[in-house]
Amino acid sequence: MSNIKVIEKLKDDPLMPLRHTAEHILHMSMQELYPQLKKVMGPPIEDGFYFDFDLEEKITPEDFEKIEKLMQEIVNLDLPVTRLEVTLEEAMDIFKDNEYKLQWLDEITDRSEKISIYEIGSPSGEHYDRDLCAGPHVNSTGAVKSFKLLSIAGAYWKGDEKNKMLQRIYATAFDSDEKLEKYLQNLEEAKRRDHRKLGKELDLFTFSELIGSGFPLYTPKGALIRRLVNEYVEEIQSAHGYQQVWTPQVAKADLFKISGHYDKYKDDMFEVRSHYSKEEFYLKPMNCPQHTQIYASKQRSYRDLPLRMTDFAMLYRDEKPGELNGLARVRAFSQDDCHVFCTEDQVDAEIDMALNMIKDIMNTFGFKYRYRLSTRDPEHPEKFLGDPKMWDKVEKWAEVIMERNNIEYFPGVGEAAFYAPKMDLMATDALGREWQLSTIQIDYVMPERFGLEYIDKDGEIKRPVMLHRAIIGSPERFMMILIEHFAGAFPVWLSPVQAQLIPISDKHVPYAESVLENLKEVGIRAELNSKTDTMQAKIRDAQLEKIPYMLIVGDREAEKGEVSLRLRTGEDLKSKPLPEVIEGINKIRLTKSLDLW
């Protein structure tokens, strides 16, 4: 993402100018400490900022202390931050020794934009810096009350692995020490919940260099969770008249040329080569073009509508290596995808039904959420297909739908799909972070481009409306959110192992085995820990594995037909009759409750 795009996206963030200035203070300090350094770029980002630089010497976190010390000195001096507009010739002279800035100048010139630089301090002062920048900034360095350097990583120039590898420092800044402290605490909690760490510890998924970056492999436990989530969504939507279809993962380029993905999305698609055909093929990045062909496979009447197709087929997108991130950003994924072909008169009822399904499913997982109305970017109409009047109609229609359903929403200008605006559900996790999950779109473009038709009751040929709908979105990304939201301690119905039998000694194994069979008979996923470890060690291991229930059995439990019940939280519920425990676990499991007992 370019510097300009980043800043535009954060234009309403009140901390953005402060963080932008903090980044300048960082690169100013770095330039003083490392005179051979070449400044590249450093935009503010959500929750902070980063700085890319070209330097032969490798910077490590051990260097952060001296960098922060100099930054604090510049902050304490409360130096002025000044914007100056310069000519191209002046800018080229100022940055003549920095090839990165000269490239930026070429791009600014191509966009016919004014060239501005920002100065910190004055040429006669002890600390002075100037850099090519569009702003905005705060008026002086003293406004940057609190900051922290967080980490360092490699980054390719312009995100292209063909370019030189640079160094990147990530940091953050706030307008008070209290806010910074709270942020750092959340950061530590996020590290504890990191799905990549927990995914390995809980044996849920892995990656292989032989298979390739961004292509996850699911272990039995991870595959079970993924399947349970998909089956739950399918159970809900099939009860509302949705029918599953299945479509191939490869299609001719012609399909994507008609849909518009070839022109708008080609750089993110995997090309597939055939030894026997010279035709151009691609792995599909989404299901909608294929679904149009199922609709078009036969003549349709108004009596056939609404036609609701769901599809859990795999999808593939060629993400840049530097943007891949565990299950959060992958190259192979699926979606709980649905496309509804209907008449205009049916749109409201179909969307209301979808909104209610989404509400039920979000409540099951305990997510709080709001909606984003993702619309066109009026400054870049070339990015969107279809008649502007149609866009006006559908964007207004989406507003009316959300207001009628009493849905809180906020604008997302420029976030629309290239063929339709979107009603995107933004879920909040346990750390207060927002994630886009569900989406609903009213699409007139695809039916028009593919020439889809139905015969109305008066015998006229008309175009259907195509509704795009996903509830959890990608199971891969959703699983990442679940892991981090619950810190790996999944609700009972999603836990790969729901109960573990822990015999106090070998002589209690036969009774533990009989309890295990009773649990399995009613569908509870249970296992027996018959290792020679101590009971305390077994309990500790079960808690580390986030197993909801530990059923401990000894002489007393075997004699009375009971189990001693412990929860993964450490709570000891003492001995209880086995039928009571089975009934309690089963009720929580079957109702998909978020409670443990």
Which residues does the annotation place in the binding site?
Answer: 288, 339, 468
Question: Which are the contacts of 540, defined by CB distance < 8 A and separation ≥ 6?
Answer: none
Point out the catalytic residue in the list 237, 290, 335, 441: 335
| Whole-number Å distance between alpha carbons of 487 and 586 | 23
Active site residue 337: yes
**596 within domain boundaries:** no
Active site residue 288: yes
Q: Binning pLDDT at 50, 70 and 90, where does residue 4 land?
A: very low
Instruction: Say whether pLDDT at 126 is over 90.
Output: no
Q: Residue 380 CB: number of other CB atoms within 10 A?
A: 9
Residues 454 and 529 in one domain: no
Q: Give the pLDDT score at 9.
A: 61
| Whole-number Å distance between alpha carbons of 473 and 475 | 6
Q: Give the pLDDT score at 3.
A: 47
**538 within domain boundaries:** yes
Domain harbouring 417, CATH code: 3.30.930.10
Residues 308 and 338 in one domain: yes
Residues 464 and 573 in one domain: no
Instruction: Say whether pLDDT at 440 is over 60.
Output: yes
Point out the catalytic residue in the list 9, 137, 317, 477: 317
Residues 430 and 539 in one domain: no
% residues pLDDT > 90 (the chain)? 78
409-433 residue pLDDT tens: 999 999 998 889 999 999 998 888 8
Please give the residue range of the domain that contains residue 293. 205-485
Question: Which are the contacts of 8, defined by CB distance < 8 A and separation ≥ 6?
Answer: none
Domain harbouring 567, CATH code: 3.40.50.800
Q: Give the pLDDT score at 5.
A: 47
Q: Residue 246 CB: number of other CB atoms within 10 A?
A: 10
Q: Which residues on adjacent β-strands are paired with residue 140?
A: 80
Instruction: Say whether pLDDT at 307 is over 90.
Output: yes
Residues 296 and 170 in one domain: no
132-160 residue pLDDT tens: 988 889 999 999 989 999 999 998 888 77
Point out the catalytic residue in the list 288, 331, 498, 566: 288
Using the 3D structure, point to which of 166, 192, 218 is the last residue of a domain: 192
Q: Which of 457, 494, 419, 485 is nearest to 223 (CA)?
A: 494
Instruction: Say whether pLDDT at 513 is over 50.
Output: yes
Query: Rounded to the nearest 10 degrees, what angle do helices 509-521 and 578-590 cross at?
Result: 40
| Whole-number Å distance between alpha carbons of 26 and 37 | 12
Which residues does the annotation place in the binding site for Zn(2+)?
Answer: 288, 339, 468
% residues pLDDT > 70 (the chain)? 98
| Whole-number Å distance between alpha carbons of 418 and 406 | 27
Averaged pLDDT, 278-295: 93
378-413 residue pLDDT tens: 888 888 988 999 999 999 999 999 999 999 899 999
Residues 51 and 134 in one domain: yes
Question: Which are the contacts of 442, defined by CB distance < 8 A and separation ≥ 6?
Answer: 347, 351, 394, 397, 398, 420, 421, 465, 467
Report yes or no: 129 and 117 within 8 Å, Cβ to Cβ: no
6-20 residue pLDDT tens: 455 666 778 899 999
**451 within domain boundaries:** yes
Q: Which of 385, 389, 392 is nearest to 448 (CA)?
A: 385
**597 within domain boundaries:** no
Active site residue 342: no
**58 within domain boundaries:** yes
Q: What is the count of structural domains for the chain?
A: 3
**432 within domain boundaries:** yes
179-224 residue pLDDT tens: 999 999 999 999 999 999 999 999 999 999 999 999 999 999 999 9
Active site residue 290: no
Distance of CA 279 to the CA centre of its chain: 34
**584 within domain boundaries:** yes
**Residue 102, both tokens:** 């000269």
Residues 172 and 293 in one domain: no
Using the 3D structure, point to which of 468, 485, 502 is the last residue of a domain: 485
Q: Which of 184, 180, 169 is nearest to 26 (CA)?
A: 169
Using DSSP's 3-state secondary structure scheme, residue 513 falls into helix
Instruction: Say whether pLDDT at 455 is over 70.
Output: yes
Write down the mean pLDDT value for the chain: 92
Residues 496 and 463 in one domain: no
**542 within domain boundaries:** yes
Point out the catalytic residue in the list 101, 148, 468, 477: 468
Residues 419 and 352 in one domain: yes
Instruction: Say whether pLDDT at 546 is over 50.
Output: yes
Point out the catalytic residue in the list 52, 336, 337, 424: 337
Residues 413 and 468 in one domain: yes
Active site residue 300: no
Residues 15 and 143 in one domain: yes
Q: Which of 485, 467, 489 is nearest to 477 (CA)?
A: 485
Report yes or no: 413 and 372 within 8 Å, Cβ to Cβ: no
Domain harbouring 68, CATH code: 3.30.980.10
Three-class SS of 365-381: HCCEEEEEEEECCCCCH
Using the 3D structure, point to which of 158, 192, 226 is the last residue of a domain: 192
Instruction: Say whether pLDDT at 305 is over 80.
Output: yes
User: 197-203: which pairs have CB atoms within 8 A and are 24 or more residues apart?
Assistant: 198/483, 198/484, 198/487, 198/488, 199/326, 199/327, 199/483, 201/488, 201/544, 202/488, 202/496, 202/545, 202/546
Residues 103 and 135 in one domain: yes
